[in-house]
Amino acid sequence: MKSNHEKEEYIEVWEDVVHIKDLVLSLIICSVTTMGAYLLAPDDATKSLVFGLIGTVIGFIICSIIIKPKRTFEYVDEEE
C-alpha cells in the first residue's frame, strides 16, 4: 500500500501531509482497537477506561508499523 503512492499525492490535514487511504485505514484501526478494548473490559468505569487507553496504544503501534511517515528527515550542519 505504500509503493503505489506517486509524488504529489498527499493532502494536508492538521499541519502535516497524509495519504487519504492510509488515513482512513488508521482511523478504522484505532477506532476498532480502542472501542473493542473498551467494550471488552470488565464492567467497571475505571477499568474500561484503562482498557480503552491500552487499545488506543495498540492501534497506534499497529498503524506506526504498517504506515510509513510521509516525511524525509535529515540533519543539516549549521552553516553560518
Partner 1 sequence: MDVTLIVQMIIAAVLGTAIYTIIGIAPGTDETAVLAPVTLVLVLAGLEPIIILTFFIAAIVAKKLTDSIPVAVAGIPGGVMAAPMVEHAMVLKKYGLPDVSIRKMASGSVIGTIVAVPVSLLLASLLAPFGEGIAEYAGPIFFGGAIFLAIMSKNRWLALATILPFAILIQGLRHLYWGIGIIPEDKTVFTSFFLGITIGPIILKLFELLNRDIREKLPRHSKKEIKVKKQSQVKGFPNPFKILDKKEVKTASIASFTGVLTFFMSPVGITIFLGEVFTKHIKDPVKRASRAISSMDGLTNATYISGTLIPLIAIGLPLSPTAIGPAIALFQAPPVLTEEHNLHHLLSMNEFVFATVIGAVIAIGLTYYITVKYSQQICAFVFKYIPHEALLGVFFGLVLMLAYRDAGWLNIAGVLLIGLVAGTLHRWGVNYGVQFMVLYAAPWMLGLFV
In angstroms, give the least distance from the CB of 79 to partner 1.
9
CA-closest candidate to residue 62, choices 22, 13, 16: 22
Element (H or E) spanning 80, and its range? none
What is the Cα gyration radius of the chain? Answer: 17
User: Whole-angstrom Cα distance, residue 44 to residue 35?
Assistant: 15
Q: Does 15 bind partner 1 (CB under 8 A)?
A: yes
Choose, by CB under 8 A, the member of 3, 4, 7, 42 that binds partner 1.
Answer: 7
Instruction: List residues binding partner 1 (CB under 8 A).
Output: 7-20, 22-23, 25-27, 29-31, 33-35, 38, 46, 48-49, 52, 55-56, 59-60, 63-64, 67-78
